[in-house]
Amino acid sequence: MAKELDVVIQQVEERQVELIQLVERLVRFETPAPPARNTAEAQGFIAEFLQERGFEIDQWEVYPGDPNVVGILKGQAPELYKSLIINGHIDVAEVSSDEPWEAGPFTPLVRDGVIIGRGVADMKGGLAGALFAVQLLGEAGIRLPGDLIFQSVIGEEVGEAGTLECCKRGYRADFAVVVDTSDLHLQGQGGVITGWITVKSQQTWHDATRKSMIHAGGKLFGASAIEKMMKVVQGLQELERHWAVMKSYPGCSPGTTTINPAVIEGGRHAAFIADECRLWITVHFYPNETYDEVIQEIEAHIDRIAQSDLWLRENPPTFNWGGSSMIEDRGEIFPSLEVDPDHPGVKALKAFHELVLDKPAMIDVSATVTDGGWFGDAGIPAVIYGPGRLEHAHAVNEQVSIAQLIDFTKVMLKFIYAWCRTER
């Protein structure tokens, strides 16, 4: 490692007060989602921060009041050297008015070696550490041969894929690091998709006709959509158990593939037979699966159940999968991300982690989901690597270790410097 970088690495600890202040500055921007539509000021700060350090800025609204910010630091010889995306989301988990915070969710508190505040673990700590690494490299006059792309995106907490919008806009690199909550593990992830299953009658019947549907000789071919949805729920439970027995993935707990019947809506009035019932499900799947494959499995299973039921055969369930926002259209997709431990980017990040922390790096699978899956979906090699423990994310008095934040910043300094000097 070049001597010029050694001096910069030393400054992380020497100037840790500035790093802490940067975390505090980000926390003070109130960006909970929901309600969302509140990140413009915070994103403006990040855009200005990057622009002052030589980045070209691309900023656009994904939703009103919620812009993405992409900073591009052009390398000196980008055609010869590797490029890197650093990615993080500026939105944080929602806050209830009755939560007993020590100070306040957006009033950062430093004590006992931690920073407390909404988003410090998920994931303004990671954003701040990466930004501080960029700042120190720039102040040292260190130029990178390869391109460095910094993405501060919106909407991750509510399934609004700011990162997907970056991919659609054409941003690509040889490797991407999503600096989200991972306790400094190098992680992939399973995926999540939500879906609506609808059972709907072709006709609407008065409540008084029920006797003709359920008794011998009634001769009325009708049914309650709510009661027929019960068969669908039972079928989903059978498929979920089958997956638990037949599917597995290294690093994931048995039965991680789940189908959660989260919300059910049905019927219109007590004087009617329920003519429609809608079920909202959340499906978790493994890193080596795609949401398209999982959708096909579920639909095929439910279709077979429908074919075995005389009424459902004539009134088959319909499906509506995913969505661009849990706020706007009550749906979301988080693709899976499978990490290749032999990829040069993963091996380099692992090596620098072990150099800084002087202990083995953990390569495993996140128990939750992040925007990392969008890079996998776009064919961009990626890994999740950031400070903060999952049990602190979304929690009252959310916190991040200052020591871990310093370690993370050192690792990112070394990795950015080395990766953007790696020949293609």
Reported as half-sphere exposure (CB side, CA atoms, 13 A), residue 156 has a value of 30
**8 A C-beta contact, residue 375 and residue 170:** no
Q: Is the peptide bond before 213 cis (omega within 30 degrees of 0)?
A: no
Q: Which of 24, 66, 122, 156 is catalytic?
A: 156
Q: With CA atoms as reference, report the closest residue to 384 among 326, 338, 418, 321.
A: 338
- State both tokens at 416: 């950015």
Sheet holding 109-111, edge to edge: 109-111, 114-116, 399-401
In angstroms, how far is CA 54 from the centroid of its own chain? 29
- State both tokens at 65: 């009041």
Q: Which of 24, 91, 289, 332 is catalytic?
A: 91
Residues β-bridged to residue 200: 276
Q: Could you give the 3-state DSSP secondary structure of residue 75?
A: coil
Residues 11 and 127: their CA atoms lie apart, in Å, by 18
Count the residues in the chain: 424
Q: Could you give the 3-state DSSP secondary structure of residue 205?
A: coil
91 is catalytic: yes
156 is catalytic: yes
Q: Is the peptide bond before 145 cis (omega within 30 degrees of 0)?
A: no
What count of other Cβ atoms lies within 10 Å of the Cβ of residue 153?
A: 28
Residues 94 and 21: their CA atoms lie apart, in Å, by 23
Residues 6 and 222: their CA atoms lie apart, in Å, by 76
DSSP structural state of residue 146: S
Residue 75: left if φ>0, alpha if ψ -120 to 50, beta else—which one? beta
Residues 37 and 414: their CA atoms lie apart, in Å, by 35
**8 A C-beta contact, residue 36 and residue 160:** yes
Residues 120 and 2: their CA atoms lie apart, in Å, by 32
Catalytic center residues: 91, 156
